[in-house]
Amino acid sequence: MTDPAPVSAPPGPPALDRLDRRIIDALQANGRITNAELAQAVGLSPSASLRRVRELEAAGVIAGYVALVDRRAAGKQTDVFVEITLQAQSEDLLSRFEAAVSAIADVRECHLMSGDADYLLRVATGGAEDFERIHREQLSRLPGVARMRSSFALRTVCWRPGYPFAADG
């Protein structure tokens, strides 16, 4: 009798060394930094810096680059957090709900949650009247919704894009 083949663990994130983490921190602080500036900041040659950035992109560690736009400039001065509880937890209903909510442009985030609510949404609005329109025309028509609870953000106390990487960990 032979032993069964070993089960391999699913691939996880690639191991990042100190230089990779410094590169990621620098790019999160300024995504428009030139390669020459980045190389100098992390102590590499420009070619080595560019090679590492391309490797981080290929591995999916760096998922993309964006411009951070002030929400007020986009006419979206108010965030509303919406807790949604569905009527059931069937795979079909979850899939239909997620497809429908993903199509609503004003929904900036949607998270499947544990706890009392099934989903937590962050909706960018132009204020109470705009949220009423979004609620009436879009959120209330989402499939399978049993209950919604909305909370208006009064002020953002802390907001951080990106994720911390220990530069010397």
Q: For residue 164, what pLDDT is reported?
A: 87
Q: Is pLDDT at 10 greater than 80 in this prediction?
A: no
The lowest-confidence range among 46-60, 83-97, 139-153, 154-168 is 154-168
Rounded mean pLDDT of 12-40?
92
> What pLDDT, on a 0 to 100 scale, did the predictor assign at position 8?
56
Class of domain 78-152: alpha beta
The mean of the pLDDT values for the chain is 91
For the residues 30-59, what does the mean pLDDT come to? Answer: 96
The model's pLDDT over 51-70, given as tens digits with 9 standing for 90+, comes to 999 999 999 999 999 999 99
pLDDT band at 14 (very low <50, low <70, confident <90, very high): confident
Break the chain into its structural domains and give their ranges.
Answer: 18-58, 78-152
CATH topology of domain 18-58: Arc Repressor Mutant, subunit A (1.10.10)
Contact in structure between 140 and 82 (CB atoms under 8 Å): no
